[in-house]
């Protein structure tokens, strides 16, 4: 069981972020925000997939104006992602954003930041200080030649600034596309403050590559008890980010996301098309919403042979071990009945 690092609780709309609450799942839309209809449709799809907080890019006043319309038709908290233009933060707050993400690498003027703080305080909404290794100012880079130290020093500078301005409603992120650097930076900062952390590996790549990188980076920190909300960044469909995030949290036993499939790697003893059966089951569980919504965690085992099958998967709640044109359905290692391989997925879902 992972012991979470103790943090303050920060409220983003109806979602509480911090060590006393489950690690929440975020994603970001990939539509043009000012196209409110497309953005709303994408957010609704993300809600359905299990997204708990959504972020939108606000790059001009048209995007900031769309927030009013979008907010009326979605059910999860909305975060406005602001770079370069501090006035867009004020406009987004005015239009109903539940949280603002600012990058002090490109909005650093103290007077502008003070205006954002003033406005967020008035509306009682939090701010994420989103540090990104790619946008560190040269002064910091030259003073701290090691990148991890640079990231932490930069974060501390802005945490101090927010604290001096009596604003503690903050969440911190320290993203980089370099995994050891990101992990070390978060670990160092975790010892220095008690604000909740948003975790992510930036520019992680396509799902194939990005899920591996995110699982290692985000997963290492979560195992240390560090991290209160996560976003898996992928070049692709944002719903895949949610599924990957759920799988990471379930693998670490941090959230109960229903069914998990374990399946053997197949070897010369396997006499069925196990990869196809597992793929079909996974597809059906996601399609029926069973994979992530079941009330209690269920482990489903699919094993390629009867020799090692029920024994190796004895801890699974339910499973099938296959033979040649045959299979046995078992629960907690006890054989229940014989089945045909073609009925495997149907039988498992019926018996869940
Ligand atoms: S369960 Fe059977 S088929 Fe699968 S890897 Fe083990 S021995 Fe091979």
List pLDDT tens digits, range 21-55.
999 999 999 999 999 999 999 999 999 999 999 99
CA distances in angstroms from 21 to 26, 169, 245, listed in the order given: 15, 16, 16
CA distances in angstroms from 295 to 16, 252, 291, 302, 352, listed in the order given: 21, 18, 10, 21, 11
**Residue 53 in tokens:** 């907080």
pLDDT in tens, 247-263: 999 899 899 777 889 99
Residue 162, Cβ density class (10 Å: 0-12 exposed, 13-18 middle, ≥19 buried): buried
Ligand 1 mean position to 305 CA, how many Å?
Answer: 5
For a substitution probing ligand 1, which of 264, 272, 312 has the most ligand atoms within 8 Å of its CB?
Answer: 264
Ligand 1 mean position to 322 CA, how many Å?
Answer: 9
Q: How confident is the model at residue 128 (pLDDT cuts 50, 70, 90)?
A: very high
**Residue 238 in tokens:** 């944002």
DSSP per residue over 185-234, as a string? HHHHHHTT----BEE--TT--SHHHHHHHHHHHHHHHHHTT--SEEE---
Q: For residue 331, list its beta bridge partners.
A: 334
Atom 8 of ligand 1: nearest residue by CA position: 267
pLDDT in tens, 173-188: 998 888 999 999 999 9
Give the C-alpha separation, 204 to 167, whole Å. Answer: 32
* Closest C-alpha to 237, from 53, 57, 46: 46
pTM of this structure: 0.90
Neighbours of 293 (CB within 10 A): 12
Q: Which SS3 state, helix, strand or coil, does residue 12 take?
A: strand
Mean pLDDT, residues 239-254 taken together: 93
CB 100 within 8 A of CB 93: yes
Atom of ligand 1 nearest to the CA of 267: 8
Give the C-alpha separation, 188 to 162, whole Å. Answer: 19
Q: Which domains does the chain have, with CATH numbers?
A: 10-251 (3.20.20.20), 259-351 (3.30.413.10)
CB 82 within 8 A of CB 58: yes
**Residue 327 in tokens:** 């299979």
Q: Would you state the pLDDT for residue 312?
A: 72
Query: Ligand 1 pocket: which residues have CB below 6 Å?
Result: 264-267, 269-270, 303-305, 307-309, 312
Ligand 1 mean position to 277 CA, how many Å?
Answer: 15
CB 8 within 8 A of CB 194: yes
CA 298 to the chain's CA centroid: 22
Q: Would you state the pLDDT for residue 313?
A: 76
Mean pLDDT, residues 80-102 taken together: 97
Ligand 1 mean position to 328 CA, how many Å?
Answer: 14
pLDDT at 297 > cutoff 70 = no
CB 66 within 8 A of CB 34: yes
């Amino acid at each position: 069981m992972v012991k979470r690092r103790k943090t303050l609780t920060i409220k983003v709309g109806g979602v509480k972020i911090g060590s006393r609450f489950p690690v929440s799942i975020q994603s970001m839309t990939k539509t043009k925000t000012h196209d409110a209809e497309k953005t709303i449709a994408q957010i609704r799809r993300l809600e359905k997939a299990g997204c708990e907080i959504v972020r939108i890019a606000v790059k001009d006043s048209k995007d900031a104006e769309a927030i009013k319309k979008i907010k009326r038709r979605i059910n999860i908290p909305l975060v406005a992602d602001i770079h370069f233009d501090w006035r867009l933060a004020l406009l987004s707050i005015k239009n109903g954003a539940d949280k603002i993400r600012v990058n002090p690498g490109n909005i650093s003027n103290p007077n502008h930041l003070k205006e954002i703080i003033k406005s967020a305080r008035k509306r009682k909404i939090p701010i994420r200080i989103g540090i990104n290794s790619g946008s560190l100012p040269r002064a910091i880079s030259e003073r701290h030649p090691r990148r991890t130290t640079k990231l932490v020093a930069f974060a501390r500078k802005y945490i101090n600034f927010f604290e001096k301005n009596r604003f503690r409603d903050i969440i911190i992120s320290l993203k980089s596309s370099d995994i050891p650097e990101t992990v070390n930076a978060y670990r160092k900062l975790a010892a220095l403050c008690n604000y909740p952390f948003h975790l992510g590996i930036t520019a992680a790549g396509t799902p194939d590559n990005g899920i591996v990188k995110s699982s290692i980076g985000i997963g290492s920190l979560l195992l240390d008890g560090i991290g209160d909300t996560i976003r898996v960044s992928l070049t692709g469909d944002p719903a895949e980010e949610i599924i990957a995030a759920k799988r990471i949290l379930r693998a670490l036993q941090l959230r109960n996301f229903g069914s998990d499939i374990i399946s053997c790697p197949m070897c010369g003893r396997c006499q069925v098309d196990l990869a196809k059966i597992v793929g079909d089951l996974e597809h059906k569980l996601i399609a029926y919403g069973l994979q992530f919504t079941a009330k209690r965690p269920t482990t489903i085992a699919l094993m390629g042979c009867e020799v090692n099958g029920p024994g190796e998967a004895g801890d699974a709640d339910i499973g099938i071990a296959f033979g040649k044109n045959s299979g046995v359905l078992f629960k907690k290692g006890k054989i229940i009945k014989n089945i045909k391989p073609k009925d495997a997925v149907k039988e498992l879902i019926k018996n869940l």
